[in-house]
Amino acid sequence: MKKNILIKNGTIVTLGDNIKVLTDYALSIEDGVIKALAPVDDIKGEYDKIIDATGKLIMPGFINTHMHFYSTLVRGLGKAKPSGNFNEVLENLWWRLDKELNMDDIYYSALIMSIQAIKNGCTTLIDHHASPGTIKGSLATIAKAVRQCGLRASLCYELSDRDGPEIALEGLEENVSFIRECQSVAKDQIKALFGLHASFTVGDDILGKAAEMGRSLNAGFHVHTAEAASDQEHCLAEHGMRVVERFYQHGILGPRSIAAHCVHIDEKEMALLAQTGTAVVHNPQSNLNNAVGIADVVAMTEKGITVGLGTDAMTVNMMEELRVALWAQHYRHQNPSIGFMEVANTLFQNNRIIAMRHWDAPLGELKEGAAADVILMDYLAPTPLTEETILGHLIFGVSQSTVDTTIAGGRILMENKQLKIDIDEKEANVRALECAAQLWERF
């Protein structure tokens, strides 16, 4: 339930284009948006709820721009054969798993991960889903779980040829029908993109159909792009061009599209991404876990590409992902002084830019008129906390702190570390455990 809320006595970190660190200020929320951000004595009125943020930072909710809800139930699964490269990881684990997912698995995967997102202060997620054995209605099922948890999400279905033409056409239709459904509801918390798996699993015929349908719906595309070197090798061998060039020729690129990973792209491909305004999403923990490499965030930023940060379902803790991203750039460039601002901007600046291409309201910033996606984090600064030092505090200090309160769209989802949503977390975990046991049996 949305309430008129006043938050006071904390330190406000606005983020956004011009980061401010404000003390003795208060923030008021009305009808799901930030009504006022002003000195505490200047904010008048009556409120349904007053939150005392003493000892806490007041910040915008985090945004995750590449996620896979469906991977939740794989934790601890040890039945997959050992894999020596990325393609074997897909074949031995993920492509076996996603074929076995049923609607309950899909629902509880999204529900559990949404609860975890709330606990980690992540209020907006851009997801990429695959369940070739259960396609029709899968996105609506995820949307149901996300809505119940009060979060924002953009969803898509992972179109692929790998399971045959009939399954591919089902995936195309799931994307189209869900995009149309989302476009029919103004200002909804759920949005849609047109999902594609990757160049090496999407042939020219289905890619052409997807491109035509996506453009006719004015929808952006969400696609894994040169995640492993093998994707580029396949594209060169089968199509005589590199992955980004192929997507460019088919009209997949553009400001509303997301190219996830981009670990193995060259300068020409970077130029095409920059020219078309296509966003890239960096997923360092996943890339390191799969041993595919480290994307060059510094070079892509220098080329003018908007590089965001995702977790690829490794976590929903965006601050943890940010730290790994920074260390990874240091290692890639063999220089511990490179990449600080480029990496910090992935989460604190570029993710909000990417998200605002899909939601009309200002996101990822505390200012009047912005969406009331607000988190409170426990933090007592042991050194000066100013506009000049805040990014260092966030990465090296706040990242180790706890989220106390999460508000999305003016709705309190967690307060004093207690969930406030109409979901029984223990019961949800019991059901998820049952689903996982049955899924693992089918695996």
DSSP class of residue 81?
Answer: P
Question: In this structure, are residues 105 and 69 in contact, taking their beta carbons and an 8 Å threshold?
Answer: no
Whose structure tokens read 């869900």?
178
Whose structure tokens read 């052409």?
208
Question: In this structure, are residues 332 and 296 in contact, taking their beta carbons and an 8 Å threshold?
Answer: yes
Measured in residues, the chain has a length of: 443
Alpha carbons 363 and 352: distance in angstroms, whole number: 6
Q: Write down the pLDDT at residue 187.
A: 75
Task: Compute how many other C-beta atoms are within 10 angstroms of the C-beta atom of residue 144.
Answer: 16
Long-range contacts of 429-435 (CB under 8 A, 24+ apart): 429/112, 431/104, 431/108, 432/72, 432/73, 432/108, 432/109, 432/111, 432/112, 435/73, 435/104, 435/105, 435/108
Beta-carbon contacts of residue 140 (< 8 Å; ≥ 6 apart): 178, 181
Q: What is the token pair recorded at 193?
A: 């993109």
Q: Do strands 122-127 and 25-30 pair parallel, antiparallel, or not at all (unpaired)?
A: unpaired
What single string gives the DSSP state of each residue in 243-260? HHHHHHHTT--STT-EEE
Run of H or E including 106: helix 103-119
Alpha carbons 379 and 57: distance in angstroms, whole number: 6
Q: Which pLDDT tens digits describe the chain residue by residue (443 residues)? A: 678 999 999 999 999 999 999 999 999 999 999 999 999 999 988 899 999 999 999 999 999 999 999 999 999 998 889 999 999 999 999 999 999 999 999 999 999 999 999 999 999 999 999 999 999 999 999 999 999 999 999 999 999 999 999 999 999 999 999 999 999 987 789 999 999 999 999 999 999 999 999 999 999 999 999 999 999 999 999 999 999 999 999 999 999 999 999 999 999 999 999 999 999 999 999 999 999 999 999 999 999 999 999 999 999 999 999 999 999 999 999 999 999 999 999 999 999 999 999 998 899 999 999 999 999 999 999 999 999 999 999 999 999 999 999 999 999 999 999 999 999 999 999 999 999 999 999 99
For 213, phi and psi rounded to 5 degrees? -65, -45
Alpha carbons 213 and 196: distance in angstroms, whole number: 13
DSSP class of residue 361?
Answer: S
Side-chain-facing half-sphere of 59: CA atoms under 13 Å: 26
Q: Which domains does the chain have, with CATH numbers?
A: 5-60+364-419 (2.30.40.10), 62-355 (3.20.20.140)
- Among the residues of 120-265, which ranges form H helices? 138-149, 165-183, 204-216, 229-239, 243-249
- Among the residues of 290-339, which ranges form H helices? 297-302, 318-333
pTM of the predicted protein model = 0.97
Q: Write down the pLDDT at residue 1.
A: 67
